[in-house]
Amino acid sequence: MAEKKSGKGIWIALGCAAIGLVAIPIIGILAAIAIPAFIRYTKQSKATEGMFMARKIADNVLMHYSEKCEFPADLPLSANVEACCGGEACVQSVTTWPAGFQDNVSGAKYFAYSGKSIGGDAYEVTAVSDLVCGGPQHTVKVIIQGSEDCVAQIDMPHVENELD
């Protein structure tokens, strides 16, 4: 007597195909949303370094001003911004900075830092990074205002954010 063939195999194959036709587009849509969000969050986390380190340098400028009643010498740019675009690590070179300021950028990776006197009663600390190669630069500026009685204050940081 001939064996009766069951149709289970074809139903399993059709079921797997249906799941594949539904699951693969869903995974693709989720990836299309998740990957750009992940890249944006990564850049934002790198951008926080600029704010933190610029404030650290500004705090040191503030201490220098309160002790000596004058702003420190200008701090030349600590790294080549173009060489560390796209979130690559910047090689910091602060050997020309005054001794008390060189430690302020230890651990810095993504930004180049500088400081300069702007007028007789203010000093500007700047952090610059090119987190998107060739795009607009992410810049953090912190202004320290001095006064005749050797008291200085730090203004709110100004951020020009290429990530917005």
Tallying the residues shown for the chain, one arrives at: 164
Question: 7-46, pLDDT tens digit by residue?
Answer: 677 778 777 877 778 788 888 888 888 888 888 888 788 8
What pLDDT does residue 6 have?
Answer: 61
Which carries the bigger pLDDT value, residue 64 or residue 5? 64
Residue 152 lies in a domain: yes
Range of the domain at 132: 9-160
Q: Would residue 1 count as lying in a domain?
A: no
| pLDDT interval class at 110 (50, 70, 90) | confident
How many separate domains does the chain show?
1
Q: How confident is the model at residue 76 (pLDDT cuts 50, 70, 90)?
A: very high
124 within a domain of the structure (yes/no): yes
Residue 150: inside a domain: yes
For residues 54 and 126, the answer to whether their CB atoms sit within 8 Å is: yes
Domain assignment present for residue 2? The answer is no
Residue 38 lies in a domain: yes
Confirm whether 15 is domain-assigned: yes
Question: pLDDT by residue (tens digit) across 125-157?
Answer: 999 988 777 777 888 999 999 988 888 899 888
4 located within any domain: no
